[in-house]
């Protein structure tokens, strides 16, 4: 499988936006375009702007191209604005819910936690990061991993839990109370440009 395993900071520099919420990615120095002289007057055309927006979202949610196309096709079949539905489907992925709750520092840590079988969805073990959660679903952490999750929460001071999630820190349980809306997604992107890119 062709998953990217190189330095993650290079991805933030490439798209010019922090793809992770930690200080390493959000600092001003991290977002300088790679290379000795940075941008140096480089301007993107219409195609490049749309491609950059698509890559930014793919890196933020740790999704590959084939997966991304499938999610976009699913968003196109559902009623409503395709861009908004696309972001909602990406936001409802199991690995992303673990990250938004603060149980993991980054999407890569959340993904590893899910793949290694440390996450329970409605009491059952789920090792698929792409599983989509629905309203009323409850996510819990295996007892052996709770110490690791608590350490991760302590390393994220000031982390705000998404409004569409109800988090119980004492039991480390997350309940999905609503579907996420575009204004509740703490990531700056224009999903309509992504839809235009594939048309």
**Pairing mode, if any, of strands 165-168 and 124-125?**
unpaired
The 10s digit of each residue's pLDDT in 120-148 is 999 898 899 999 999 999 999 988 888 88
Task: Give the predicted TM-score (pTM) of the model.
Answer: 0.88
Which two structure tokens, joined as six digits, stand for 117?
């079988």
Alpha carbon distance 5, 84 (integer Å) = 29
Which domains does the chain show, CATH number per domain?
Answer: 9-89+185-197 (1.10.1050.10), 93-178 (3.10.290.10)
The 10s digit of each residue's pLDDT in 153-170 is 777 776 788 889 998 888
> Which residue is it, tokens 């590893």?
112
Question: Is the pLDDT assigned to residue 29 strictly greater than 70?
Answer: no
Q: Which of 160, 55, 151 is nearest to 101 (CA)?
A: 160
User: Which pLDDT band holds residue 189 (cuts at 50, 70, 90)?
Assistant: confident
């Amino acid at each position: 499988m062709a998953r990217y395993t190189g330095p993650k900071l290079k991805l933030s520099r490439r798209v010019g936006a922090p793809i992770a919420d930690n200080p390493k990615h959000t600092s001003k120095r991290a977002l300088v375009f790679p290379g000795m002289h940075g941008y140096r007057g480089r301007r993107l055309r219409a195609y490049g702007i749309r491609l950059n927006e698509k890559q930014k979202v793919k890196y933020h949610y740790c999704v590959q191209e084939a997966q991304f196309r499938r999610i976009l096709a699913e968003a196109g079949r559902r009623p409503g604005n395709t861009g908004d539905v696309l972001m909602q489907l990406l936001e409802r992925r199991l690995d992303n819910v673990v990250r938004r709750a603060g149980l993991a520092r980054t999407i890569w840590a959340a993904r590893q936690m899910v793949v290694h079988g440390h996450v329970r969805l409605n009491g059952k073990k789920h090792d698929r990061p792409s599983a989509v959660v629905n309203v009323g679903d409850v996510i819990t952490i295996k007892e052996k991993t709770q110490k690791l999750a608590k350490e991760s929460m302590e390393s994220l001071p000031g982390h705000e839990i998404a409004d569409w999630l109800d988090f119980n820190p004492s039991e480390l349980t997350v309940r999905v109370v609503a579907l996420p809306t575009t204004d509740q997604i703490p990531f700056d992107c224009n999903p309509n440009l992504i839809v235009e890119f594939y048309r």
